[in-house]
Structure 1
Amino acid sequence: MAGTAKPRGAARSSSKKGPTGGTGGKNKRRLEGKGPTPKAEDRPYHAAAKRKKAAEKKVSPRTRTGRSERPKGEIVSGRNAVLEALRASVPATELIVARSIDVDDRVAESLQLALHHQLPIREVHRAELEGINANSQGIILAIKPYQYSSFQEITERANHPILIVALDGVTDPRNLGAIVRSAAAFGAAGVVMTERRAAAMTASAWKSSAGAAARLPVAQVTNMARTIDDAKKLGCFVIGLDGESDETLSGMKVAKENVMIVVGSEGKGLSRLVREKCDLVVSIPMRATTESLNASVATSIALFWVDEQRRK
């Protein structure tokens, strides 16, 4: 009859709920061993992971490998300072220049000197350079750490009669460099100074030495009083410089013997223990009523006087 025929392909559904078959434990096994859900940035197709990957691409290879970190040792920054250091042939490891730097005469000469000394030149982003030193003016020179000698090495290379300069707390690196220069000029075997509370052989000291630091050994010692005792065992007559001493340099009669000249700090002079260890403490006679001489000037005068006596 019309309207009673079933559509072709249709199936009659039953409203009765009969028993259904189980999965046999498959669903349970499927959920085992999955572990915790990975972080969003660790899922390759997640938006967070894509953002992380894009951020890593923006970081320069030098930054990731540590090339843009602060150089080891001392640095000289600024156009004038870098140029002066290169002119003085201060030992350096590399010249670091900001990209798109405004090249003036100082920068141009610095680059030429670096090429002449076969010094590596590295270009970095200005932000990286300012991260090393904010006042770099776009150029930085990395300095090699100074290689100190030992007191024993100085005495072994000394000619006879021995002449050694010892610094008891000299804190100005320019004074240190000038003393090294004078010591080399007047035939001293080397310069000895304390490790603590004293100037070190920085780029400033190297420049003041006018290259003498490359020829004359400089030693650091932990205890100056003990070093004076060691010098005495080698037969050295220890002479301290002090502007308040009544004994003058001109009255010293031991210039032709083995001599160690001890110079005190710019302000306090010789420390108490070092002064007591000296065999003789002398001053430099002056006509004008000047309080004292610069440490490097006083040392130069004393060295000249000893050298002059030995020449005679």
Structure 2
Amino acid sequence: MLGLSTRNVGDEWLRILDRASSGRPHNGFILEASPLPRPPITQLGPSHMEKRFFTVKLDKQSKEDALVNGDQEQYPYNSDGWRHPLVLYADGVLDEGNLGAIARSAYFLGVDAIVTPIRQSAPWSHIALKASAGAAEAIPIFAVNQAADFLAKSAREGWKIYASDAIAPQKSTPGSSTSSTSETNIVYAHAKSSKPVLDHHPVASHPTILMMGAEGSGLRNTLLNQAHYKIGIRAGRNVAAAGVDSLNVSVAASLLCFEVLKKPVVKEKSADQLF
């Protein structure tokens, strides 16, 4: 029914099976499948909150690649009637486990698509797919050739770009908050400023691209220069003693996606404010 063909083999195939599974346990079963669909795109296009879809512009691809990736340029997303789409761009993540973990968290939290560069990125291999717990096959994943060009073209279509970056520590005064809300250490700032932007809710205002950088080095300057805003996570303690000054990229992506997708809380006016 599914068009699958099977072949029973003997013990003499064990070495071949080991190579096919890259040395990982296979229990005598190997399934050969096409690669994960990963359409190449040049930009993100217009999105429509009411109609619940966003668009992309496809890049050139071979006939063989098109058979795997398809030619879809309009993708549905769940706006819940209040939010624009969120696309996560992971640049230069080299660990396949981290890449898969990012996909798992992104799917669970409600991110609408993931973009990774064609080069200088971990492959969407069986290791990444396993780490994603199947999420990588349930969320749109796109590939880009020129990241800076992709970001610039998407920005011209109305997408706002947020760069995950280190946030300088700030002293707080009694009764004040140095973060976007009083309950979080995740801070927004304008790209060219270190001054926090308070009560900021990205996807409630515009289609959003959240950029995550490589393990260790973070985002490249060419990409940081494309950002409209910065977003960062403040440490909850003095980290100098142990030398742990950042989070694993997959953990950071989870926290930032959760924050970006928060729905604004509508504050009811008190009786005194009504008159």
Give the TM interval when normalised to the shorter protein: 0.5 to 0.7
Cα 1:260–1:170 change in 2 (3 A) is same
Change (3 A) 1:180 1:244: same
Q: Is the Cα contact below 8 Å between 2:201 and 2:262 reproduced in 1?
A: no
Within the alignment, does 1:147 sit opposite 2:37 as a pair? yes
**CA distance in structure 1 between the partners assigned to 2:40 and 2:265 by the alignment:** 28
The structure 2 residue matched to 1:299, chosen from 238, 253, 256, is 253
C-alpha spacing 1:298/1:155, structure 2 compared with 1 (3 Å)? farther
Q: What is the CA-CA distance between 1:294 and the residue it aligns to?
A: 0.7
Q: Provide closer, same or farther for how the CA distance between residues 154 and 286 of structure 1 changes in structure 2, counting only shifts above 3 A.
A: farther
* Greater mean deviation of Cα atoms: 185-194 or 156-165: 156-165
Q: Of 207, 218, 221, which aligns to 1:269?
A: 218
Question: Are the structure 2 counterparts of residues 156 and 245 from structure 1 closer, same or farther at C-alpha, using a change threshold of 3 Å?
Answer: farther
**1:281 to 2:230 alignment:** yes
Aligned with 2:133 (options 197, 210, 214): 210
**Kept after mapping to 2: 8 A contact 1:245/1:282:** no
Show the 5 A alignment for 1:49-60: none
Check 1:167–1:230 CA distance in 2 against 1; reply closer, same or farther (3 A cut). same
Question: Within 5 Å, which residues of 2 pair with 1:164-183?
Answer: 164-183=87-106
- Residues 244 and 268 of structure 1: is their aligned pair in 2 closer, same or farther, counting only changes over 3 Å? farther
Percent identical pairs in the alignment equals: 25
**Cα distance, 1:309 vs structure 2:** 3.7
1:162 is displaced (CA, Å) by 1.8
SS at match of 1:124: coil
Q: Which protein is bigger by CA-based radius of gyration?
A: 1
CA contact (8 A) 1:155 1:189 kept: no
Amino acid at match of 2:210: I
Q: Which residue of 1 is the match for residue 187 of structure 2?
A: 250
Which protein, 1 or 2, shows the higher relative CO under an 8 Å CA cutoff with sep ≥ 6? 2
Q: Is this contact kept in 2: 1:195–1:221, CA < 8 A?
A: yes
> Counterpart of 1:163 in structure 2: which amino acid?
L
Deviation of residue 237 (structure 1)?
1.3
Query: CA offsets, 1:70-98, max 9 Å, x none?
Result: xxxxxxxxxxxxxxxxxxxxxxxxxxxxx
Contact kept in structure 2, 1:241 and 1:281, CA below 8 Å: yes
Shift of 1:279: 1.3
Q: Tell me the secondary structure at the aligned position of residue 232 of structure 1.
A: helix
**Structure 2 counterpart of 1:283, one-letter code:** G
Instruction: After TM superposition, list the pairs within 5 Å mapping 1:51-200 onto structure 2.
Output: 121-131=6-16, 133=18, 135=23, 139-144=28-33, 145-151=35-41, 152=56, 156-158=75-77, 159=79, 160-200=83-123
Structure showing the higher helix proportion among its residues: 1
Question: Secondary structure, in 3 states, of the residue corresponding to 1:139?
Answer: coil
Residue 154 of structure 1 contacts residue 217 of structure 1 at CA under 8 Å; is this kept in 2?
no
Per-residue deviation, residues 84-122 of structure 1 (Å, max 9, x unmatched)? xxxxxxxxxxxxxxxxxxxxxxxxxxxxxxxxx997553
CA distance in 1, matches of 2:264, 2:73: 20
* Residues in 2 aligned to 1:311 and 1:165: alpha-carbon distance in whole angstroms: 24
Whole-angstrom distance in 1 between the partners of 2:73 and 2:131: 21
User: SS state of the match for residue 206, structure 1?
Assistant: helix
Instruction: Tell me the TM-score normalized by structure 2.
Output: 0.62
Shift of 1:281: 2.2
Give the drift of 1:156: 4.0
Per-residue CA shift, 1:30-79, capped at 9, x if unaligned? xxxxxxxxxxxxxxxxxxxxxxxxxxxxxxxxxxxxxxxxxxxxxxxxxx
Q: Check the 8 A contact 2:169/2:234 in 1, yes or no.
A: no
> SS of the counterpart of 2:30?
strand
Question: TM-score of the superposition, structure 1-length normalised?
Answer: 0.55
CA contact (8 A) 1:154 1:190 kept: no
Distance in 2 separating the partners of 1:174 and 1:219: 18
* Corresponding residue number in structure 1 for 2:272: none
**Residue 250 of structure 1 aligns to which amino acid in structure 2?**
V
Which secondary structure state, in structure 2, belongs to the residue aligned with residue 308 of structure 1?
coil
Assess, with a 3 A threshold, how the Cα gap between structure 1 residues 181 and 245 changes in structure 2: closer, same or farther.
Answer: farther
Provide structure 2 residue ranges, at least 5 long, that are not aligned to the other structure. Answer: 42-55, 57-71, 171-178, 180-185, 189-196, 267-275
> Distance between the aligned counterparts of 1:154 and 1:199, measured in 2?
25
Work out the CA distance in 2 between the residues paired with 1:299 and 1:154. Answer: 26
Alpha-carbon distance in 1 for matches of 2:76, 2:143: 16
Tell me, what secondary structure is at the counterpart of 2:233? coil
CA RMSD of aligned residues (A): 2.8
Report the counterpart of residue 47 of structure 1 in structure 2: none
